Amino acid sequence: MAADRSITSVPPGPRGPLLWHSIRFNRYAWSYLAKVQAKFGDTFTLKLPGGKGGWVFLTDPAHVKQVFTGDPKVFHAGEGNSILLPLLGKHSVLLLDEAPHLRQRKLLLPPFHGKRMAGYEDLMRQIARDTIAEWPVGEPLRAWPHMQAITLEIIMRAVFGVEGAKLNDLRSALEYLLGEVTNPRTMLLIALLGERRFSRLKSVRRRLAAVDDILLPEIARRREASDLAERGDILSLLLQATDEDGRPMSDRELRDELMTLLVAGHETTANSLSWALERLIRHPDALQRLQDEVREGETDVWMDAVCRETLRLCPVISIVVREIQEDVEIAGHRIPKGARVVPCIHLVHRRPEIYPDPDAFKPERWLDQTPGTYTWIPFGGGVRRCLGASFALFEMKTILGEIVRSMDLQTTTAPGEPMRSRAIARTPGGQAEIVVGRRTAPATPEVPATVG
Ligand code: HEM
């Protein structure tokens, strides 16, 4: 008998209290999701906070496609990100939906076009070199904090365009704030208090004010800068952008988008770089091939493959979330309005029919395979696809290139580092411990550290 399509239902999933699933999902995301899939199949429902009717996980690329190509009026992403409201502010592209989202997205997109990336190369290289130059030789070194420092510096200079003495003030204000924000306890506090009450806490207001007191005057000053049109940093480009009605972004909108770019782009890239190092030192052949390619100045075919494979196997964001605004039919279920549908990046990337031997790190699989729109989704998809994808890939390649060009990395037979959850992204649990074997002479001349 045919199913009655007027009856809403979600696919089955594990029973038990919401708190139990939240903890397991947050703590053990990758292994927990694999266990649930093994038991319930490709489509399952988890009880997690928010989303009336549960979180419906999708792992079949056909279902992922349905979400990514679905009507943005039905598939909202903004609600799912509301936990970030106190930090990002209400204008953030991450928190908006429908027409307001589209407006902000159109304003933000042009500076992130792939063609513009070469203009950031010298700056990225120099920042990486300055950090690497300090690394001790022959001793274990946790790469992750260094990757964090490099990507923060890149955002402050390439995106915010801040230089000179103000850089130190901004760095300390941001480090303090980001340290708090990415702390799972903070996320729990926001979930318990709600975004509005959390924002009113004195300590939170003080920390946000410390950042705003630097950013807002910087935005106002930059707006008046005589060299605005010649500057290459992203804030300067955004200041000149106008929407279809000829309106530029207000200072407050710009502040919120800068915080968004920082939060979305800093830790994600640092963690992806850390995973790349963690994988490479356990795969001597892949590392050797990368070193040869970089040092011989060949085209970056293998580097591309290494980055794609790292983002496939170790996706720092393991899911994307859409809250549905009307009943939707997916995977043979009529999912009720208010539930969340969740393309699961991690499990899509582990499908054996797309990626044979899916748990293995094999960059060579990308030599004769191009990333599919719905099968390689580390940057999500559709109208919400990561705005900084080209920037992030370019940054990963530039920094990794600088590391393997100027350093010999010692390989290891130690087991892989377990995944550790931070508030926003997944990171190697041992902070990507490496040993730098030997420093090699710089293969390329010193480069000026400005945004071209
Ligand atoms: C390897 C590094 C990165 C990864 C893995 C990553 C991943 C993601 C993912 C999964 C999403 C959600 C997409 C969706 O909902 O379908 C996203 C959104 C976004 N990302 Fe990234 N990201 C990275 C780096 C960056 C960088 C460097 C920037 C900017 C400097 C950036 C800016 C954004 C923005 C603004 C959005 C929101 C887009 C929207 O809602 O329209 N990301 N990113």
Which domains does the chain show, CATH number per domain? Answer: 18-439 (1.10.630.10)
Query: What distances in angstroms separate CA 404 from CA 221, 284, 292, 409, 440, one per listed residue?
Result: 39, 13, 9, 7, 9
d(C-alpha 409, C-alpha 433), whole Å: 11
Name which residue sits closest to atom 8 of ligand 1, judged by CA. Answer: 379
Ligand 1 proximity of 125 Cβ (cutoff 6 Å) = no
- Measured in Å, residue 394 CA sits from the centre of ligand 1 at 14
Name which residue sits closest to atom 24 of ligand 1, judged by CA. Answer: 265
**Strand ranges across the sheet with 75-76:** 43-46, 55-58, 340-343, 322-324, 75-76
Ligand 1 proximity of 378 Cβ (cutoff 6 Å) = yes
d(C-alpha 265, C-alpha 160), whole Å: 12
- Measured in Å, residue 264 CA sits from the centre of ligand 1 at 5
d(C-alpha 198, C-alpha 289), whole Å: 49
Whether the CB-CB separation of 49 and 374 falls below 8 Å is answered with: no
Q: Which atom of ligand 1 is nearest to the CA of 316?
A: 5
d(C-alpha 127, C-alpha 267), whole Å: 16
d(C-alpha 108, C-alpha 385), whole Å: 13
The DSSP code for 12 is -
Residue 46 pairs with which residues in a beta bridge? 55
Ligand 1 proximity of 398 Cβ (cutoff 6 Å) = no
Write out the chain's pLDDT in tens, 452 residues. 444 555 768 899 999 888 888 888 877 778 899 999 999 999 999 988 877 889 999 999 999 999 999 999 999 999 878 888 888 999 999 999 999 999 999 999 999 998 889 999 999 999 999 999 999 999 999 999 999 999 999 999 999 999 888 888 899 888 877 877 667 777 777 777 878 888 888 888 888 898 999 999 999 999 999 999 999 999 999 999 999 999 999 999 999 999 999 999 999 999 999 999 999 999 999 999 999 999 998 889 999 999 999 999 999 999 999 999 999 999 999 999 999 999 999 999 999 999 999 999 999 999 999 999 999 999 999 999 999 999 999 999 999 999 999 999 999 999 999 998 876 788 999 999 999 987 665 555 455 455 54
Buried b (16+ CB within 10 A) or exposed e, 168-190: eebbebbeebbebbbeeebbeeb
- Measured in Å, residue 253 CA sits from the centre of ligand 1 at 18
- Measured in Å, residue 387 CA sits from the centre of ligand 1 at 6
Q: Which atom of ligand 1 is nearest to the CA of 377?
A: 10
Within 251-376, residue ranges assigned H as helices are 251-280, 284-295, 301-313, 345-348
Ligand 1 proximity of 111 Cβ (cutoff 6 Å) = no
Crossing angle between the packed helical segments 165-181 and 251-280, to the nearest 10 degrees: 70
- Measured in Å, residue 311 CA sits from the centre of ligand 1 at 13
Crossing angle between the packed helical segments 284-295 and 251-280, to the nearest 10 degrees: 120
- Measured in Å, residue 265 CA sits from the centre of ligand 1 at 7
Ligand 1 proximity of 271 Cβ (cutoff 6 Å) = no
Name which residue sits closest to atom 1 of ligand 1, judged by CA. Answer: 269
Name which residue sits closest to atom 14 of ligand 1, judged by CA. Answer: 380
Ligand 1 proximity of 400 Cβ (cutoff 6 Å) = no
pLDDT of residue 131: 94
pLDDT of residue 101: 97
Name which residue sits closest to atom 19 of ligand 1, judged by CA. Answer: 386
Q: Which atom of ligand 1 is nearest to the CA of 317?
A: 10
d(C-alpha 114, C-alpha 319), whole Å: 24
pLDDT of residue 445: 47
pLDDT of residue 347: 97
- Of the chain, the end-to-end C-alpha distance in Å amounts to 66
Ligand 1 proximity of 342 Cβ (cutoff 6 Å) = no
Whether the CB-CB separation of 128 and 421 falls below 8 Å is answered with: no
174, 321, 379: which to mutate for ligand 1, most atoms within 8 A of CB?
Answer: 379
Residue owning tokens 């988008």: 257
- Measured in Å, residue 9 CA sits from the centre of ligand 1 at 31
pLDDT of residue 242: 95
pTM value? Answer: 0.94
Amino acid at 198: F
386, 391, 399, 424: which to mutate for ligand 1, most atoms within 8 A of CB?
Answer: 386
- Measured in Å, residue 388 CA sits from the centre of ligand 1 at 6
- Measured in Å, residue 411 CA sits from the centre of ligand 1 at 31
Whether the CB-CB separation of 303 and 293 falls below 8 Å is answered with: yes
- Measured in Å, residue 269 CA sits from the centre of ligand 1 at 10
Contacts of 365 (CB under 8 A, 6+ apart): 305, 309, 355, 356
Q: Which atom of ligand 1 is nearest to the CA of 260?
A: 35
Q: Which atom of ligand 1 is nearest to the CA of 96?
A: 40
pLDDT of residue 293: 96
d(C-alpha 129, C-alpha 245), whole Å: 44
Name which residue sits closest to atom 36 of ligand 1, judged by CA. Answer: 386
Q: Which atom of ligand 1 is nearest to the CA of 104?
A: 41
Which helix (H) or strand (E) element contains residue 208? helix 202-224
